[in-house]
A and B are shown apart, each in its own frame.
Chain A
Amino acid sequence: MAKRIDVKDLDIYYGSFRAVRSVSMTIQPRAVTALIGPSGCGKSTYLRALNRMHELIPSARVEGKVVMDDQDLYAPGMDPVDVRKHVGMVFQRPNPFPTMSIYDNVAAGLRLNNKRLRKSETDDVVEESLRGANLWEEVKDRLRKPGSGLSGGQQQRLCIARAIAVRPDVLLMDEPCSALDPISTHAVEDLMAQLKENYTIVIVTHNMQQAARVSNYTGFFNIAGTGQPGELVEIDETPTIFSTPTHTATEEYISGRFG
C-alpha cells in the first residue's frame, strides 16, 4: 500500500515564473515527512505537485521527475486523474461536501473509482474508514446527517476518512490543523501516528512543534527573496533537523531567529 516517492530535480513554474527550484528528495514509505518553511517558500506548491493538483492553475507546469515505485507521475500519457486516485490529499480547511451526508462523503471517492459496489461493501468501507480516522464512535448514530454539522476537527477527520476510503498509497496534508483548535489538532496528530503504519504521509505545516511531534523526516524550504524561487534547503531525520541541522538558515528558522 504505502509507496516511496523519489523526486528528482523538480522545477515548478507558473507561466514563466519559477516558483520552486530543483527539488530532489526521497519520501519514505510508512513514515511522516514534514515540510516546513516560511510563507511563500513553495512548500504547498511542491506538495500539490506531488498529486498534480497544482495543474488546476492553467499556466502551471513542472520539469523534472516524480517517481513513485518506478512510475513517473509526469510521464507523457499519465493521467492526472489516476495520479490523484493513488495520492490522496487533505486540505487546510476542512471541506466535506455540504450537500452530502457523512456517509456519502466517505463513500464519495469510492463511488468514483468503483461504481458497481454493493451496499454492504460500501457500508464496510465507510465504517472502516471512519474507524481509521478515529471518527466512527462520534458519528455512527448520525451517518445520514450532513457532514457540515460536525465540528471543525470532526470535519477534518471526516475529510481524512474520505481520503483513505479510496485506499491511496500516499496521503498529502496541506496544513491540516491550521484551522483547528488544540484539542482537534491533537486528535488529528494522533491519527497521523496511526495512519503512518499503512500510508506514506507528507504534511506541510507552519507549526514546528507539530513537525517535531509527528514527523520522522523534516524538509526545510526557504526562499532567497520575493520573486525568487523557493528551494529545498535540506531534508533529514526530524531529530537531526531539530538538533543539529547542516545549514544555518535551517537553524535560524527553527530557533525562531529568522529574517
Chain B
Amino acid sequence: MSNTGQGAATARRVRKRPADQAFRGITTGAGVLILVVLAGVAAFLLIEAWPSFVAPAEEIPGEGGLVLYIWPLVFGTLLASVLALVIAAPLAVLIALFITHYAPRKLAQFLGYVVDLLAAVPSIIYGLWGFTVLAPATRGPAEWLHEYLGFIPLFAGPPSTTGRTMLTTALVLAVMILPIVTAVIREAFLQTPKLHEEASLALGATRLEMIRMAVLPFGSSSIISGSMLGLGRALGETMAVAIVLSASGGVTFNLISSGNPATIAANIALEFPESSGVAIDTLIASGLVLFAITLVVNMIARAVINRRTDFSGAS
C-alpha cells in the first residue's frame, strides 16, 4: 500500500509542468550568465593585455618593463586601501554598536538613515571634498606627525605642502567605505539573538561584556565580509583617488610626503586619454592585476568566514 503511494508520488514529481520548467530555465540562465560575464571580463583583460606581456621592456611606459611599471601601482593601491580599511573598520564596528545597542531608538533610526544616505553619495563628491577641504586641513596635523612621530617611517616626511598625500587619500577612502561597512555590520548586530544577549546578561555581564560575549562573536563573520566589501570598493575606487592623490610614482610607506605611489584605478583614469599602442595594453595589464587582487581578497574573505562554520552563530 505504502509502496504504491510512493510510486504515485514519484510519478507525479516526474511529470513536467511547463511553467516550472520555464522558470527553472530562466533561473539557470541567470546563474550561468554571471559566470559568463566573469569569464568574459577575464578573457577581455587577458587578450587586450597580452601585447604588453611580450613587448620589449623599453616600449613599456617608464622603459623599465611591465613588472617595474605595475608593481608601484599595486603597492599604492594596496597601501591606500588597507590603510582606509584600518581606519574605517574599527570605526564602523563602533558606529554599528552605538546604533544597535546604545542609541535611543529614535536616534538609532535616524543614524541608520544617515549611514545609508552616505553610502549613496557619488564618489566624485568625496573626491572634490577631499581635494578642497580635507587636503588643506591635513597639512597642520601632518606637520605635527612629522615633528613628533617622524621616527616612524610612515611619517618621515617632509610634509607635502598641498596635503594631497597618501594619508589624505586613505582618509577619503575610509570615509567613502565607512557607510557600506557600517551597514553590513549593523545588520548583523541587529540580528544577534536576544537569547544569547540575555544569556550573558543573566550571568552578570555588563553591557560591554555582553557585547563581547554575544554580539561580536555572532557578528564576526559579518565584520569580515563587510570589511572585505569595503576593501573591494577602496581597491577599485578611481575618481576620488585621481582627484585627491598627487602621485609621483615610487614605492614608499611615507604617508605624508609629496612623493606618493599612484593606484591602479586612478592611474588608468589619468593616463588612458593620452595613451596609445603598447601603453594602453600596459594599462589594461594593470587592470588585470587589479581584477586578480579583488578576486583574491574576496576568496580570502570567504575562506576566513568558512573557517569556523562549526562555531558560527548561524546554527
Residues on A lying within 8 angstroms of B by beta carbon are 51, 53, 56, 81-82, 84-86, 88-89, 91, 93, 95-101, 108-109, 112-113, 145-146, 148-149, 159, 162-163, 166
A-B contact pairs, 21 of them (CB 8 A): A51-B202, A53-B198, A53-B201, A81-B205, A84-B203, A85-B203, A86-B204, A88-B202, A89-B198, A89-B202, A97-B200, A98-B196, A98-B311, A98-B312, A98-B313, A99-B217, A109-B204, A112-B200, A112-B209, A162-B199, A162-B203
Secondary structure of the B contact surface, majority rule: helix
Determine the distance from Cα of A145 to Cα of B308 in the docked complex, in whole angstroms.
12
Contact present for A95 and B199 (CB under 8 Å)? yes
Contact present for A108 and B200 (CB under 8 Å)? yes
- The residue in chain B whose Cβ has the minimal distance to the Cβ of A85 is B204
A207 to chain B, nearest CB (A): 21
Point out the residues of chain B lying under 8 angstroms from A81, CB to CB.
Answer: 204-206
Partner of B204 from the list A91, A146, A166 (CB cut-off 8 Å) is A166
A244 to chain B, nearest CB (A): 36
Beyond A88-B203, A149-B310, 10 extra complex contacts between A and B, CB < 8 Å = A81-B206, A82-B204, A85-B203, A93-B195, A95-B193, A98-B196, A99-B218, A99-B220, A99-B311, A101-B311
Contact present for B198 and A56 (CB under 8 Å)? yes
Residues on B lying within 8 angstroms of A by beta carbon are 193, 195-196, 198-206, 209, 213-214, 217-218, 220, 308, 310-315
Determine the distance from Cα of A167 to Cα of B65 in the docked complex, in whole angstroms.
70
Determine the distance from Cα of A99 to Cα of B221 in the docked complex, in whole angstroms.
11
Contact present for A99 and B313 (CB under 8 Å)? yes
Contact present for A97 and B199 (CB under 8 Å)? yes
Determine the distance from Cα of A81 to Cα of B198 in the docked complex, in whole angstroms.
12
User: Which 5 residue pairs are nearest across A and B when measured between Cβ atoms?
Assistant: A85-B204, A99-B217, A109-B203, A89-B202, A95-B195
B206 to chain A, nearest CB (A): 5
Determine the distance from Cα of A100 to Cα of B204 in the docked complex, in whole angstroms.
18
- Contact A148 to B202, CB < 8 A, known contacts A97-B214, A99-B220: no
Determine the distance from Cα of A85 to Cα of B203 in the docked complex, in whole angstroms.
6
B208 to chain A, nearest CB (A): 11
Contact present for B217 and A100 (CB under 8 Å)? yes
B199 to chain A, nearest CB (A): 5
- The residue in chain A whose Cβ has the minimal distance to the Cβ of B217 is A99
Contact present for A95 and B203 (CB under 8 Å)? no
Contact present for A146 and B195 (CB under 8 Å)? no
Determine the distance from Cα of A56 to Cα of B315 in the docked complex, in whole angstroms.
25
- The residue in chain B whose Cβ has the minimal distance to the Cβ of A55 is B201
Point out the residues of chain B lying under 8 angstroms from A99, CB to CB.
Answer: 217-218, 220, 308, 311-313
Contact present for A108 and B217 (CB under 8 Å)? no
Point out the residues of chain A lying under 8 angstroms from B218, CB to CB.
Answer: 98-99
Determine the distance from Cα of A31 to Cα of B141 in the docked complex, in whole angstroms.
66
- The residue in chain B whose Cβ has the minimal distance to the Cβ of A110 is B203
Contact present for A56 and B201 (CB under 8 Å)? yes
- The residue in chain B whose Cβ has the minimal distance to the Cβ of A96 is B199
- Contact A84 to B201, CB < 8 A, known contacts A99-B313, A146-B311: yes
Point out the residues of chain B lying under 8 angstroms from A51, CB to CB.
Answer: 202
B76 to chain A, nearest CB (A): 37
Determine the distance from Cα of A248 to Cα of B199 in the docked complex, in whole angstroms.
38
B248 to chain A, nearest CB (A): 47
- The residue in chain A whose Cβ has the minimal distance to the Cβ of B308 is A99
- The residue in chain A whose Cβ has the minimal distance to the Cβ of B205 is A112
Contact present for A112 and B195 (CB under 8 Å)? no
- Contact A84 to B198, CB < 8 A, known contacts A99-B311, A99-B312: no
Determine the distance from Cα of A85 to Cα of B200 in the docked complex, in whole angstroms.
11
Determine the distance from Cα of A163 to Cα of B195 in the docked complex, in whole angstroms.
14
Determine the distance from Cα of A162 to Cα of B313 in the docked complex, in whole angstroms.
18
